[in-house]
Amino acid sequence: MLKLWGRQSSGRTQKVLWTLAEIGLEFEFILASAEMGPGGHVSKGNKPFGVVDTPEYRAKNPNGRVPTIDDDGFVLWESNSIIRYLAMQYAPDMLYGNDIKTFASASRWTDWENNELLPPQHDMAMHLIRLPESQRDPQVLAKACAKFARAIGIADEQLGRTRYIAGERFTYGDIPLGLRVHRWHVLGLATETPPNVARWYAEMKARPAFNRWTADPAHHLEG
């Protein structure tokens, strides 16, 4: 059985959890983190889940971060690489139509999420809920919100041309974007959702796999 190391409140881990739910693949979930634990973020004095600093884990992932998978002896880290692997290995028809051009387009948007949406959303979470109030900076939060909104405008333009982010069918490329848009809403920062993103987001929320791991606000508001 595939093993996954991570935590539910990690956006990177959630991408993998959502992908696994779309495929319907059984797995063992092992809680691991250097930053978060049962009580919340370590900046508030909470104890992390740990595991990631052990020699055994570092032998799998030298970065000491999550997520990491072990699929029958094949070890892989980096969340976007993991979801691409899962799509190719277990669900090429379901997650990209078994078409190389669709795969490449989905891959592009997956990398775009990592470069354009993840950094500002990390700042959003840190300066809204995770850092102690005395360490939060409203200016950092405002800049992050503005940068995120500009990037979402790019996605809105694409979703005005196609039903899903990589074309007319759902692909693994919709998963990272879906996670970020949902967290944007859960954090209460989506003051104005562009129309095409709003239409697409409604479709994401209707997916059973989205509701398995991603929908619950508790998986985004852990501080």
Q: What are the residues whose beta carbons fall under 8 Å from the beta carbon of 38, sequence distance 6 or more? A: 46, 47, 49
Q: What is the pLDDT of residue 223?
A: 57
Where does a domain end: 90, 118, 133? 90
Report angle CA 108, 118, 166 to the nearest 5 degrees: 25
The reply to whether 66 falls in a domain is: yes
Same-domain check for residues 85 and 105? no
The reply to whether 72 falls in a domain is: yes
Number of domains in the chain: 2
- As a whole number of angstroms, the distance between CA 162 and CA 143 comes to 29
98 SS3 class: coil
DSSP letter at 45 equals T
Q: What is the pLDDT of residue 37?
A: 85
Domain residue limits at 175: 98-213
The reply to whether 220 falls in a domain is: no
Same-domain check for residues 208 and 128? yes
How far does the chain reach from its first CA to its final CA, in angstroms? Answer: 31
Same-domain check for residues 21 and 103? no
Q: What are the residues whose beta carbons fall under 8 Å from the beta carbon of 131, sequence distance 6 or more? A: 41, 43
The reply to whether 191 falls in a domain is: yes
CATH number at residue 17: 3.40.30.10
Q: Rounded to two decimals, what is the model's pTM?
A: 0.94
The reply to whether 69 falls in a domain is: yes
Pairing of strands 74-77, 68-71: antiparallel
Same-domain check for residues 166 and 197? yes
Same-domain check for residues 130 and 179? yes
Question: One digit per residue, pLDDT tens: the chain, 223 residues?
Answer: 999 999 998 999 999 999 999 999 999 999 999 888 888 778 778 888 899 999 999 999 999 999 999 999 999 999 999 999 999 999 999 999 999 999 999 999 999 999 999 999 999 999 999 899 999 999 999 999 999 999 999 999 999 999 999 999 999 999 999 999 999 999 999 989 999 999 999 999 999 999 999 999 988 887 5
Same-domain check for residues 113 and 171? yes
Tell the residue number behind the tokens 């949902």, with chain if given. 182
Same-domain check for residues 79 and 130? no
Same-domain check for residues 124 and 24? no
Contact predicate 177/213, CB 8 Å: no
Helix axes 100-112, 138-159, angle to 10 degrees: 160
The reply to whether 221 falls in a domain is: no
The reply to whether 223 falls in a domain is: no
